[in-house]
Structure 1
Amino acid sequence: IGIMPVGSAHPENEDWTCFEQSASLDIKSFFGFESTVEKIAMKQYASSIKKGKEIIEFYLNQLEEEGISHVPRWTPSLDAPSSSSSSTLADATQSEATSNDATNQPDDQMENQTGTPDDKLDADYIKRYLGDLTPLQESCLIRLRQWLQESHKGKIPKDEHILRFLRARDFNMEKAREILCQSLTWRKQHQVDYLLETWTSPQVLSDYYTGGWHHHDKEGRPLYILRLGQMDTKGLVRALGEESLLRHVLSINEEGLRRCEENTKVFGRPISCWTCLVDLEGLNMRHLWRPGVKALLRIIEVVEANYPETLGRLLILRAPRVFPVLWTLVSPFIDENTRKKFLIYAGNDYQGPGGLLDYIDKEVIPDFLGGECMCEVPEGGLVPKSLYRTAEELENEDISLWTETIYQSASVFKGAPHEVVLEIIDAASVITWDFDVCKGDVVFHLYHSKRAPQLPRKDPLVGQHSSITTPGGNNVQLIDKSWTLGLDYSMVESPLTCKEGESVQGSHVTRWPGFYILQWRFHTMPGSASTNLPRVDDVLASLQVSSHKCKVMYYTEVIGSEDFRGSMTSLESSHSGFSQLSHATSNHSQSSSMISR
């Protein structure tokens, strides 16, 4: 192993000295203990760095005690060979002694950056706009900016923006440069720099997107409020498509960057991120609509890649019991550093010690959270289905969300229900469903059986399960006609009558292992016995019945008991403060269901 400390002049200020120390380790073979040897070497390397720093500080203190505050820059004589090692201490001494009173020369290239001073090493500028930086962090910022100036044509991001990418990668130059270059290319391709000037929010977003900016928190960070529990995510996706929602979220992030710059000027200190308050009151299985969750995951991916370190704190209030299910789906896609900024409050615990008042002034707490400040964030509500767009319209705009075949269509005939079987191995798993009644009225049931239902036989000619094939979809029957309800199988959910045009989402926490059967049955309108003359409603009903066919589009999914119970346990323990929602397990054997339309 070799360790070599090297001193060199600072790239922006020659009166400063940068020290770099590197080591190389080459282990051919060490009887299977190569990793142990590597750890020992790293420990020795860290000790060497510490010792080198102590030596430099010792000689600097010696000079200070002798009253020496300035040492001229060392220059080799014309007849003497240069020696980098002989100049190291002199450069270090000069760096320490003159760092406070050195006059830095402006860089011509930095004059191209609007709104930032020419002298990037000025202590007042760093404190005023960038925050506390160690010399190493400052050096990383300057070197990355200099590299961008030399390699990139066009607009160079401001120091605050470069710092976000450095902080996101713990000031690893190579990693930060990689993600920053990818983001700059992305911004150029999609003209993101001009998004605030070119993007016009559709009226449906203005009316039904339950988010907006609302004053600032106690630290001066812009405050964004999102009433997610009141938002009709399915309606927004069906009315707008994934791309429009993504553009809207990007415009929110761009506006957040602009507000951070404004607040930096107002409060006289660097403000580089914002606070987000998410109210989950009203959250239910309707928000777990699979295409909506898929759109959310894509939005998170884009924001994480291009707006790192812009979220200072995320306050999640009034988290209901269904929240762990959503968290289980979303959390793996959120950066670990971002997850550490989450504060989760279940119920009304946000009103107590360690709650909302620790982060937001009482005067700006929204009225719907018990405060006195009127909040202009829309209240949301269901998006009218008249605003929905067809799959063809979305497909023509090259939106992949609705064109994927995650939903299945099925026909429900009079006397021939459509059934889906799910085998559950672990009790306390969660069965979720989402379906639209496209035609006719149906009755939805959920059954449990210890016996495996007989699957439809396979047609040897086509190699598929036999079923009643119609232009509108398939019909599959699983429950044997010889089975007796209450003996061979049991009902675990009360029947739910669903009208034509309704959207239904729900879930069931299983109590026993076995086979669960989802059934959609044709709903027969009861006849009227009050009069011999047919009523208009009866005539219309008879016309509907005469078709003897209903149509549904459905999607179902099973969430494992370990993930669900682990998330639920952590949520129940997060009455205030941060919760990682770990995978600890507990026994939740009771059955529960949530159905919404």
Structure 2
Amino acid sequence: MVQEYQSPVRVHKFTFEMVMAAYERRFPSCPQIPVVVECVITDDSWSADDSQRHTTRRCQLNVEAPYLLKKMIGVDYIYFIQKNSLDLKKRVLEIEATNETFSARVGVVEKCKYYVHPDNPEWTCFEQSALLDVKNFFGLESTVEKIAMKQYAANVAKGKELIDVFMKEVYNDGVTSLNPWTQGAVTENRELRRILSRGTEPLSPMLTSENRTHSEPDQYTLDSDYIKRYLGELSPMQESRLLQLRKWIADLQKGKVPSDTTLLRFLRARDFNVEKAREMLSQSLLWRKKHQVDRILSEYETPDVVKQYFPGGWHHHDKDGRPLYILRLGQMDVKGLLKSIGEDGLLKLTLHVCEEGLKLLEEATNTSEHAVQSWCLLVDLDGLNMRHLWRPGVRALLRIIQIVEANYPETMGRVLIVRAPRVFPILWTIVSTFIDENTRSKFLFYGGKDYLQPGGLLDYIPKELIPDFLGGPCKSFVHEGGLVPKSLYVSGAFTEREGDPLSEDSIYRSVSLGKGQVHEVIVPNRDPQSVLTWDFDVLRHDIAFTVYRSDHELCHPPADTTALCVGGGDEAKSVLDQKGWREGEHFHRVEPTLVCHDGESIQGSHVMLEVGSYVLQWRCDVLDCTHRAAQLMYFHETLTSHHYKGSMSSLQSGTSGFSCLSGKSVSSSCPSR
């Protein structure tokens, strides 16, 4: 197995010559890095003009390996050969170290480089990289690799600190500045050589040195101060993975490399596995190019229906400086929006929001004193009901969630859910399985009105920025949402994808009813506490809707059938009437009759607490003067009980309410029980 490691550029705010003087103080041994026992010079030579020095050392290391492992391999120490090339004329020190011990089984090559900062000649840069090739190590390859990684990370973390420590010794010796090597300045150059010849030279390599040789162009390097300021705290291994991904993507793209924050998000999404992150990012970059996502911010035009009825928008920031997005999901007409702008339109809106979010993150980082890497989402569920469980709409939203998860990973820092109603467990059960586990862990839920109590929103959002619709003092410009009038629907705007077995055409059934006729769906239930849901549109005339339950078995459907449709057409009587049964004795009404008017869309649910037969019944009692048949289009579904274990307290016992979504310009009122 071969591992490569690359550390970011460390910047020492001292001249190259002063850094070299401090560097010499670290040897022959360095108490701050006890793994280095001793370094012995085996060869040391200067050029005639004192501008170049070539040094070779044999370094003894006491690797922090388990005692039993050391006994098994029969060594207490390992040895490295380190070769240094100092060029005072070019102001560069290059260091290469290779292992002498077990070289036939394990190959370690570490390279370091000190050089003058390209933008500030008073500063010095340091790069460090290594390659670890464990060929065959008595079956302990994985163990050796882990030990190496641990040791390398520990030593890299100390590198910059050590220069600062030894620089104090240089100052204490009265050396506060050193002139660079100058052609012909024999006396000054000889004095510089004398100061730089103290000690027995550099820090030896580590068996654990695991980073790539740094011969690549400067575009593959990162300053450690820059990382801390704009990317946040990263471990040496995480820094190394970031540099590796940066180079690989540059080689793949042969063009502009995504920002370091983007690379870091994809690495975090794949637990800093570079191969997996590269695959995920490569697919995302192809997706962005195919759909011209980079042009969305400049070219996207918000549809009028979104301006009027989409209840979401950016709203200041949270206490951590994250941009805050508000979504009043309970007031969002998913069905109306999809019927107006389609799934592609809703996706473009979502992508525009995400691209705005990335821009706001960059601005927040630049104006704050720390890296802001994710945004905060505040979701208000007041008004959420069964209309939000319109299955084609849910499936469209899930597709959008999957696209966002794949292309904007690790952008969600926190999700605050407020005013969650009783139907929320159903919606959450459906949606949560499609959300990344790490993202789900960032959700915080507040039911009722406790969100403004201690431990609520005030822990995360400044008091003065709590939006007015939640009882705060801050004016919110997020639209209230509401029902999209059917007059704004666009024919063909939303259709389920071809081949989808749950397409709207296949899951919705159309029925015509004459005066006095009924249409019924019989749902056998053998799963107590499962949830029966329904969604139907009244397309013409008024229709009465009721739900009944009987302990008696009303039909014998095939084993793979969950419901049986009866009535409609010439059928005038309910299956209950045909059997001569009496209400209250042979069957019971479990949902009160609801008269639904022309143009209304109805959604609802019922918790089936008992086994038996449930009957969804639609009845037409009156026709208008045209005598045209009443029409409706409906869909129903049974959600199994195991999804709701522990969540049933959030649902009403025994019955659940009807909720209405009028297709007219004004909302009709429906009772909610």
Bin the TM-score by the shorter chain.
0.7 to 0.9
Query: How far 1:123 sits from its partner (Å)?
Result: 2.2
**Conserved in 2, the CA contact under 8 Å of 1:285 and 1:505?**
yes
- Sort the Cα spacing of 1:306 and 1:363 in 2 relative to 1 into closer, same or farther, 3 A: same
1:137 aligns with 2:238: yes
2:360 is paired with a residue whose SS is helix
Q: Cα distance 1:24–1:422, how it changes in 2: closer, same or farther (>3 A)?
A: farther
For 2:538, the aligned partner's letter is V
Match of 1:193 in 2: 294
Structure 2 residue identity aligned to 1:513: V
Deviation at 1:8, TM superposition (A): 3.3
d(CA) in 2 for partners of 1:418 and 1:302? 40
Deviations 1:360-406 (A, max 9, x none): 1111110111110100000111111111123x454599998975422
- The one-letter code sitting in structure 2 at the alignment partner of 1:186 is W
> Cα–Cα, structure 1 residues 404 and 305, in superposed 2: closer, same or farther, change >3 Å?
farther
Q: Pick one of 543, 546, 552 that aligns with 2:632.
A: 552
**What SS does the aligned partner of 1:593 have?**
coil
Distance 1:178 1:203, change over 3 A: same
Residues 1:441 and 2:542 are matched in the alignment: yes
CA 1:255–1:478: 2 relative to 1, 3 Å: same
Q: Does 1:122 align with 2:219?
A: no
Question: Percent identity of the aligned residues?
Answer: 48
How far apart are the structure 2 equivalents of 1:94 and 1:415? 84
Q: Distance in 2 between matches of 1:91 and 1:48?
A: 14
More strand by share: 2
Question: What residue is the counterpart of 1:486 in the other structure?
Answer: 584
Contact 1:428-1:590 within 8 A present in 2 as well: no
State how far apart, in whole Å, the 2-side matches of 1:475 and 1:517 are. 16
Question: In the comparison of the two structures, how many residue pairs are matched?
Answer: 505
CA–CA distance in structure 2, aligned partners of residues 220 and 143 of structure 1: 30
The Cα shift of 1:455 comes to 6.6
Q: Which moved more, 1:146-155 or 1:510-519?
A: 146-155
Residue 42 to residue 338, structure 1, CA distance change in 2 (3 Å) = farther
* Aligned partner of residue 647 in structure 2, secondary structure: helix
Give the direction of change, closer, same or farther, for the CA distance of 1:482–1:25 in structure 2 (3 Å limit).
farther
SS of 2:455 mapped into structure 1? coil
Match of residue 353 from structure 1: 454
User: Using a 3 Å threshold, how does the CA distance of structure 1 residues 45 and 355 change in structure 2: closer, same or farther?
Assistant: farther
1:405/1:164 Cα in 2 relative to 1: closer, same or farther (>3 Å)?
same
Given that 1:497 and 1:523 are in contact with CA atoms closer than 8 Å, whether structure 2 keeps it comes out as no
Classify the secondary structure of the residue corresponding to 1:316. strand
Cα separation, partners in 2 of 1:10 and 1:502, compared to 1, 3 Å: farther
Paired residues for 1:106-505 under 5 Å? 107=217, 109=219, 120-390=221-491, 392=492, 394=494, 404-454=505-555, 478-479=575-576, 481-484=578-581, 485-505=583-603
- How far off is 1:498 after superposition? 0.7
Q: Which amino acid aligns with 2:217?
A: D
Task: Give the 3-state SS of the residue equivalent to 1:566 in structure 2.
Answer: coil
Cα deviation digits, residues 176-226 of structure 1 (max 9, x gap) = 001000000000000000111111010100111000001111111101011
Residue by residue over 1:133-169, the C-alpha shift from the partner in whole angstroms, topping out at 9 and shown as x without a partner, is 1111111111111111112133321111010000111
Question: Is there any run of 5+ residues in structure 2 with no aligned partner, and where?
Answer: 2-72, 74-104, 115-124, 171-200, 559-563, 661-673
What TM-score results when the alignment is normalised by the length of structure 2?
A: 0.67
Go from structure 1 to structure 2 and tell me whether the alpha carbon gap of 1:341 and 1:23 turns closer, same or farther (over 3 Å shift).
farther
Tell me: CA distance 1:387–1:516, structure 2 relative to 1, closer, same or farther (3 Å).
same
Is the CA contact 2:147–2:208 (under 8 Å) kept in the aligned structure 1? no
Higher RCO, Cα 8 Å, sep 6+: 1
Q: CA deviation at 1:124?
A: 1.9
Query: Is contact 2:382-2:421 (8 Å) kept?
Result: yes
Q: CA offset at residue 523 of structure 1?
A: 2.5
Task: State yes or no: 1:90 paired with 2:166.
Answer: no
Q: CA distance change for structure 1 residues 238 and 181 in 2, over 3 Å: closer, same or farther?
A: same
Whether 2:657 is the aligned partner of 1:594: answer: yes
Counterpart for residue 8 of structure 1: 110
Which secondary structure state, in structure 2, belongs to the residue aligned with residue 9 of structure 1?
Answer: strand
Q: Which has the higher helix share?
A: 1
The equivalent of 2:70 in structure 1 is none
For the residue of structure 1 that corresponds to 2:428, the secondary structure is helix
Q: 1:88 to 1:55 in 2, by over 3 A?
A: farther
Larger Rg: 2
Runs of 5+ unmatched residues, structure 1: 28-40, 71-86, 97-103, 111-119, 458-463, 525-540, 573-587
How far apart, in 1, do the equivalents of 2:248 and 2:311 lie? 42
**Once the two structures are superposed, what CA deviation does each residue of 1:492-512 show, in whole Å capped at 9, x if it has no partner?**
111111111111111111221
Q: What is the one-letter code of the residue matched to 1:146?
A: K
Aligned AA (2:527): D
CA distance in 1, matches of 2:323, 2:556: 57
CA contact (8 A) 1:433 1:555 kept: yes
C-alpha contact (below 8 Å) 1:312/1:341 kept by paired residues: yes
Which amino acid is the alignment partner of residue 647 of structure 2? S
